[in-house]
A and B are shown apart, each in its own frame.
Chain A
C-alpha cells in the first residue's frame, strides 16, 4: 500500500484542515462584519438644534460617552426597524434627542419586555425607553420619569366578524373571549381586573393569550388565534394606519396612563440629568413635534407639564 505521500503527512494534513478551516472562518468573519450595524447606534433623526442642557458623570453611565437605552423592539410606532434596517419611532426620536442634550451617543439595546427591568438592573443599559407605563409595582423597582401619556384600546379584525360589542362601555362582553396581550405589560394586569367580575356574573373567564413580543400578540389577532388585542393606543392606531384592511378599533381608549423612562433607583445623577433634558424638550415643543410626526394624536404630554 505504497502511496505518493507519506502516511504522516496525510494525517497532519487532516488535522491542519480541521484547525485551519475554523480559524479562517472566524478570521474571515471578523474582517467582513459591517461594524455599524453591529454597533446598533441609531442615527439621531431630529436635527441637532437642542443644546446640551446637562452632563452626566461617567460613573453614572454603563459605558462612558454613551447613553445605552434598553427597548423592546419592535413596537411600532414607538420603536421599530424599517425594512431598510434603520431604527425609527417616537421613543427613538425622544431617546436620541435626550442623548444629544446630554452630549452622549445613543446606543439602543434590544430587549424583551418582560425582562427589561432585569436588564436595566443588571447593567445592560442606562435607561429604559420602551413605552413602559408607570405603575406602583414598577416604581418600587426602578425610578420612572414621566414622558408621555396615552390610553389603551381594543383592536379586532376588520369588519368585526365575531360581532363583539363595545367592551369599553360594557366590560362583561370580554368574558369568555380570547384576548391577546404582551407579557409583562400593564394590559396584562388590567385584563385580570376585567376578568374578576366575569365569574360573579356567571360568565366564562377571559382567555388571556399572552405573547413575549408585541408583534406576536398582533399576529395572534391577525391569524384569528385571538379575538381581541389589548394594546396601547398609539401602536393600535399605527397598526390601523399600516393595515387598514385588517384591523379596526373597538370602542374608545381606556385607562389613560403615563409612560416613564426607567432609571435605576440609586442612580440619582442620571435621573436628574434625564429629567432636565426631557423638561427642556417639553418647553421648546420638541416632544409635541415628535408626537405629531408619528400621528400619535391620542397621546399627550404627561400631566403637570
Chain B
C-alpha cells in the first residue's frame, strides 16, 4: 500500500505569496506571466481588429489574406506556432530574437517570441470575435454615418466600435482568461515564467503535487481577479445602454438609496 504523505509545510510556503515570492525566479515568473498575457492580448486585439476589417472588406485580395491567416493560426496548435516563430524565423534569417532592453525594461528573446507567438495566434481568434461584433451593429448605423458625411475611419471609431464593444467585450474577457493560462506554453521554448519557476523548485525539492497545486492557486487568483475587472467593464457597458445595475451587497448593507448611476426621473 502506498503511503500518502502531503507536505503541508512546502505547500503553505509556496502557496502563500509573501514567502513564495522571496524566490526571485517565482517573482519574475509572476511578472512575466502577467505582462506576457497583457501584451499578447493587446497585439491580438490590434491584429484582430485589422484582420476583421479585412474580412469585411469589399476587396477580395484582402479577404483572402485574412481568411488564410485566420484559418492557419486557428487551425494549428499554439505550441507548434511558438516553436516555428522562435526557431524558424531565426533559421531563415528574419529575426534572431536577441535580448532587448526597451526603456529600462529587459525583454529576453524567449519572452519576445512568446508574446509575438501568443499575440499572432490570439489575433486570429480576435478577428472572428471583432467581426461578429461589427456585424452585430445595425446596418443603418453605417449608412447614417456616411449620410452625415463621416469618413469611414471616423464612423468606425465613433459609431460602430462603441456598439460593437458590447458584443466583443464578453468573449474578449474569456480570451484574456485563456491567455493568462496559455503563457505556460512558453516553457516549450525554454521560457521561465511562473509554472517553470515552480518546476525549477521541484527539481530541488521533488514534491510535484504540493508545488503544482500551489502554483495552480496563483493562476486561479489571476483569473479570478480578471473576472472581477471583466464584470465591472461589462456592467459599465450595460449602464451606458440604460440597463439598471443591481446594487452591490455592500451598498445594500450600508443603506444607499441611489440604486445606480443612471438615476430614474
Contacts and interface: CB of A to CB of B under 8 A. Distances in A.
A141 interface: no
A84 B28 contact: no
Q: Give the size category of A's interface with B.
A: 35 or more
Q: Which of B38, B90, B188, B206 has the most CB of A within 10 A?
A: B206
Given A80-B204, A122-B90, A33 B106 contact: yes
A38 B263 contact: no
Given A62-B98, A85-B27, A124-B109, 14 more contacts: A3-B263, A10-B239, A26-B38, A29-B35, A32-B31, A37-B25, A39-B106, A63-B99, A81-B201, A107-B99, A112-B187, A122-B87, A218-B203, A219-B208
Given A4-B263, A124-B109, A76 B188 contact: no
A83 B13 CA distance: 12
Interface of B: 22-28, 31-32, 34-35, 38-39, 42, 83, 86-87, 90-91, 96-99, 103-106, 108-110, 162, 165, 187-192, 196-197, 199-206, 208, 229, 233, 236-237, 239-240, 242, 261-265
A176 to B, nearest CB: 23
8 residue pairs, one from A and one from B, having the closest CB atoms:
A122-B90, A74-B203, A85-B24, A37-B28, A215-B203, A85-B25, A81-B200, A110-B190
Contacts of A81: 25, 200-201, 203-204
B175 to A, nearest CB: 14
A25 B176 CA distance: 14
A68 B165 CA distance: 46
A138 interface: no
A136 interface: no
A80 B98 contact: no
Interface string A1-42: 111100000110011011001100110011011111111100
Contacts of A3: 261-263
Contact of B23 (A63, A83, A219): A83
Given A1-B265, A22-B38, A32-B31, A80 B200 contact: yes
Contact of B27 (A18, A37, A112, A124): A37
A73 interface: yes
A229 B203 CA distance: 15
A14 B27 CA distance: 32
- Secondary structure at the B interface, as helix, strand, loop or mixed, is helix
A55 interface: no
B96 A123 contact: yes
A112 B87 CA distance: 12
7 contacts: A17-B236, A29-B35, A81-B204, A110-B110, A110-B191, A124-B97, A218-B206
A63 B101 CA distance: 13
A30 B105 contact: yes
Contacts of A135: none
Contacts of B199: 74, 213, 215
Interface of A: 1-4, 10-11, 14-15, 17-18, 21-22, 25-26, 29-30, 32-40, 62-63, 72-74, 76, 80-85, 107, 109-112, 115, 118-119, 121-124, 212-215, 218-219, 222-223, 242-243, 246
Given A80-B200, A110-B190, A123-B96, A33 B28 contact: yes
Given A11-B162, A110-B191, A124-B109, A1 B262 contact: yes
A82 B242 CA distance: 56
Contacts of B197: 85
Contacts of A36: 24
A33 B107 CA distance: 11
A81 B204 CA distance: 8
Given A10-B239, A26-B38, A30-B105, A112 B262 contact: no
B38 A38 contact: no
B190 A121 contact: no
A57 to B, nearest CB: 18
B83 A22 contact: no
B190 A14 contact: no
B77 to A, nearest CB: 15
A48 B34 CA distance: 38
A21 B201 CA distance: 33
